[in-house]
Structure 1
Amino acid sequence: MACAETDVDFGTIPLAALNVTVRKKLGLYLNPRNAVAADWMVVAEAMDFSYLEIKNYEASKNPTTMVLDDWQARSTGATVGKLLSILMKVERNDIVEDLQPLIDEDVKRFHESQKKKADPPLQVPEVDSCVPRTLERNGITLEDDPEGTPELFDAFICYCQSDFHFVHEMIRQLEQTEYKLKLCVFDRDVLPGSCVWTITSELIEKRCKRMVVVISDEYLDSDACDFQTKFALSLCPGARNKRLIPVVYKWMTKPFPSILRFLTVCDYTRPCTQAWFWVRLAKVLSLP
């Protein structure tokens, strides 16, 4: 199947291209248990989720969203085309027909954004200033040499401002001890003046071996943390290279983010394992 406007094969478009509107509408169709038409459980089975996983999703208010998020995070085959083929396989052509215009629009938008990234912008070789210019992705951190090797880090720390006191403790435990790890803390290491999303993507993908996600109730409300987490997950489907390390340091009142539930968590809230917390975190961040 292809987008009528761009002639792009849906099988090459990752599920991340579908925005919130499409996902909500999918939930409206699939969340209600249906004795006649296939519901979210049938779709989850077609995505190869186990019986126990599906039973756990039942407790959620929006199981369709949880299934889509987990499928997107752990499967390299989670594409728009595969989702549509599953819906047609379980005879939910009504959903495909109703959502086709919205899906086409999302695919078109995603395709255009990828094309802009691939095609370098046309630039005049010289402008009216004789001052040397620094490329946007060079000279972005305190110790960057714009004309030399970019500054590299062991881990990017994804956090919200209310958790910054724990980030300070992380710096003390991992950088200022025998571990001597190099952490990328945005508020400390990144120079001001550049596009936040561009710089964040560059740091996570090119400059940092791993990303530590500090999970809290406040984290769940942060758009920046949401972007950073999903971007990092898109770089390592199935968590094959331990690129994303979730950390919980205080008790939460909100549900743990479903998109990270399949990853092993470093939990500071359990008194019986606190003594091993920093050792385990340092060890995984020290891996090549």
Structure 2
Amino acid sequence: MATKLSIDHEAIPITALNCSLRKKLGLYLNPANTVASDWRAIAEMMDFTYLEIKNFEKRDYPLEKVLTEWETRPDATVANLLSILEKAERKDVTADLKDIIDEDCKKYLERLQRKPLQVPVVDSCGPRTQERDGITLYDDPQGLTPETFDAFICYCQSDFQFVHEMIKQLEQTECSLKLCVFDRDVLPGTCVWTITSELIEKRQALMVVVISDDYLDSDACDFQTKFALSLCPGARSKRLIPVVYKAMKRPFPSILRFLTICDYTRPCTQIWFWTRLAKALSLP
């Protein structure tokens, strides 16, 4: 006889909820509602800022985007979602969808029970160590839902002012992209090379390389660039996007000469710069 699973919503991450349930939640919460709380109130209770919520408004299905962003945070549990809906006085949602939520939670627990104990040791070419879990600001500390990004930014410290402008233009506008900026997003106390390779290979689709004279002297930038290139030999897939934001005195790195450059140094093309870069990072 099958063992009946006991559901502890507090211990189940929001990633256990499948796509069909998220769409059903959107049917209740996406439409603007002057009487009951809609997705905006839910996002505010999840501690999203006003600017983030305004960016979510530009999406066709804002609640699904809110859930996707929220699930990278350590407090993103099914229990907290139910609590937020309760506080928002959306008992209609919890009443109508509670059975479906519980069903998704049961499936999640069943998958955990079926997972072989030896998998973390024998299934991976590169052993998963504690060092690779909880490496960024909003990582799940248990390593179940690692934080992901739209792009990893490769830069040296002298170019950090331009990186700030990149954050402003790509994250805090309608682009609403999520960048991995090492000094901002990576927690201290971990091995730089191990964590960098983990982020580049598994946590984002693309890497933006900020090219400057100082970049050419940076060991960290050299490692990041070569490692990313090794993942797509011959540029068979678009992996790196070189960006030049100021005039250089030294030759452009030969290893990147075959890639199309996003050039910020020409005033006549600056008007298109951020749009082109955002589009390149948004494409699948």
Question: What is the TM-score normalised by the length of structure 1?
Answer: 0.54
Cα separation, partners in 2 of 1:145 and 1:268, compared to 1, 3 Å:
same
Q: Which runs of 5+ in 2 are unaligned?
A: 1-123
Q: Which amino acid aligns with 2:239?
A: R
| Cα 1:180/1:257, change in 2 over 3 Å | same
Distance in 1 separating the partners of 2:241 and 2:132: 25
Q: Which structure's relative contact order is higher, taking Cα pairs within 8 Å and 6+ residues apart? A: 1
Output aligned runs, 1:20-39, within 5 Å.
Answer: none
Counterpart code for 1:168: H
Q: Say yes or no: does 1:228 pair with 2:200.
A: no
| 4+ long deviations beyond 2 Å | 117-121
Cα displacement (A) at 1:120:
4.7
SS at match of 1:188: helix
Note if 1:139 corresponds to 2:134: yes
Q: Distance in 1 between matches of 2:184 and 2:154?
A: 13
Q: Distance in 2 between matches of 1:234 and 1:119?
A: 16
The equivalent residue for 1:201 is 197
Alignment of 1:84-99 (within 5 A): none
* SS class of match (1:136): helix
Q: CA deviation at 1:118?
A: 3.9
CA distance in 1 between counterparts of 2:275 and 2:218 reads 28
1:210 and 2:202 are equivalent in the alignment: no
Cα separation, 1, equivalents of 2:280 and 2:177: 11
Quote the Cα distance in structure 2 between the aligned partners of 1:274 and 1:167: 16
Name the CA shift for 1:268/1:145 in 2 (closer, same or farther; >3 Å).
same
Which residue matches 2:251?
Answer: 255
Per-residue deviation, 1:238 = 1.9
Structure 1 residue ranges without an equivalent (≥5): 1-116, 122-133
**Letter of the structure 2 residue corresponding to residue 143 of structure 1:** Y
151-160 or 238-247: which moved more?
A: 238-247
- The structure-2 alpha-carbon separation of the partners of 1:268 and 1:146, relative to structure 1 and needing over 3 Å to count, comes to same
The reply to whether residue 280 of structure 1 matches residue 267 of structure 2 is no
Superposition map of 1:15-54 within 5 A: none
Query: What percent of counterpart residues are identical?
Result: 83
Change (3 A) 1:281 1:145: same
CA-to-partner distance for each residue in 1:151-179, whole Å, 9 max, x for gaps?
00000000000000000000000000000
What is the number of equivalent residue pairs in this alignment? 160
* CA pair 120-150 structure 1, distance change in 2 beyond 3 A: closer
The verdict on how the C-alpha distance between 1:135 and 1:250 changes in structure 2, with shifts beyond 3 A counting, is same
Query: How far apart in 2 are the matches of 1:151 and 1:212?
Result: 18
TM-score by length of 2: 0.55
1:174 to 136, 145, 170: 170
Aligned AA (2:134): G
Could you tell me how far apart the structure 2 residues matched to 1:119 and 1:276 are?
41
Indicate the residue corresponding to 2:181 in structure 1.
185
Q: Structure 2: how far apart are the matches of 1:247 and 1:119?
A: 31
* Map of 2:261 onto structure 1: 265
Q: CA deviation at 1:240?
A: 2.3
Residues of 1 paired with 2:276 and 2:127: CA distance?
A: 42
Map 1:49-60 onto structure 2 (within 5 A): none
Q: CA deviation at 1:119?
A: 7.1
One-letter amino acid of the structure 1 residue matched with residue 133 of structure 2: N
For residues 177 and 192 of structure 1, the distance between their equivalents in structure 2, rounded to whole angstroms, comes to: 28
What per-residue deviation string (whole Å, max 9, x for no partner) do you get for residues 31-87 of structure 1? xxxxxxxxxxxxxxxxxxxxxxxxxxxxxxxxxxxxxxxxxxxxxxxxxxxxxxxxx
The aligned residue for residue 241 of structure 2 is: 245
Structure 1 residue 239: deviation in Å?
Answer: 1.7
SS in 1 for 2:131: coil
Q: Distance in 1 between matches of 2:127 and 2:278?
A: 39
Counterpart AA for 1:205: E
Q: How big is the shift at 1:135? A: 1.5
Please state whether the residue corresponding to 2:150 is helix, strand or coil.
Answer: strand
Aligned equivalents of 1:119 and 1:272: distance in 2?
Answer: 47
SS in 1 for 2:229: helix
